[in-house]
Amino acid sequence: MECKRQFSIILIKLFFIQYLSVLCAARNFDFFYFVLQWPGSYCDTAKSCCYPTTGKPAADFGIHGLWPNYNDGSYPSNCDPNAPFDQSQISDLRSSMLKNWPTLACPSGNGITFWSHEWEKHGTCSESVLNQHQYFQTALNLKNQINLLQALRTAGIVPDGSSYSLESIKDAIKEASGFSPWIECNVDESGNSQLYQIYLCVDTSASNFINCPVFPNGKKCGSQIEFPPF
């Protein structure tokens, strides 16, 4: 009996330690990166892309993710193995997510694999602030706060394959959002640098855009970059 009691105590302690580690990991971040990607640049590469099973998405910036981050540039990931993605939690958001958070990975999919990855890698690290439904709803709300494509069009920057200065793209987004973005580029099949992803920073409540404490170490852009059609 004594052996069983001690074993039970050890199990309880291990569970408590695991719970604390997950809780601390989820609480310990400094801001979010809100990342949107241009589908034309995702597809215009040697790797190419596959449209979702629902068909070709609209020619608009799509959500890539909402990522907890630290001020030193590092980030937490996969913080809670006990909170797997559950699509039933976001059934009311599905139509909006298909439109605003489409998958372009091959083979063609319905978004579930993409969204599951984003929740389990990034979303679980914000559980102290957002549950699963709130995580996806918040990202959709943030996208609705700023129309990046319209901001660029207003500045005469359109997705027609032309090249534009990196500074003009940053200035257009700052004019619309009030904050300086970080721009990530990739290259097309000819090796030309093109506008791929736009990063904006969000406070830990996931409610407000803020000045980025640090920019990521991603693929940097040249002074002139293409904005391909989709």
Could you tell me the pLDDT band of residue 220, with boundaries at 50, 70 and 90? confident
Residues 178-192: tens digit of each pLDDT: 999 999 999 999 999
The reported pLDDT for the residue numbered 12 is 47
Among candidate residues 2, 117, 118, 189, the one labeled active-site is 118
Torsion of CA 123, 124, 125, 129, to 10 degrees: 80
Q: How much of the chain is in helix, strand and coil states, percent to nearest 5?
A: 40, 15, 45
Among candidate residues 2, 117, 120, 122, the one labeled active-site is 122
Q: Alpha-carbon distance 73 to 220, whole Å?
A: 15
- The domains of the chain, with CATH numbers, are 38-227 (3.90.730.10)
* Residue 159, preceding peptide bond in cis (omega within 30° of 0): no
118 labelled catalytic = yes
The reported pLDDT for the residue numbered 91 is 97
Strand partners, 62: 37
Q: Alpha-carbon distance 134 to 129, whole Å?
A: 9
Top pLDDT among 113 and 5 is at 113
2-29 mean pLDDT: 50
pTM for this one? Answer: 0.87
Top pLDDT among 10 and 133 is at 133
The reported pLDDT for the residue numbered 1 is 57
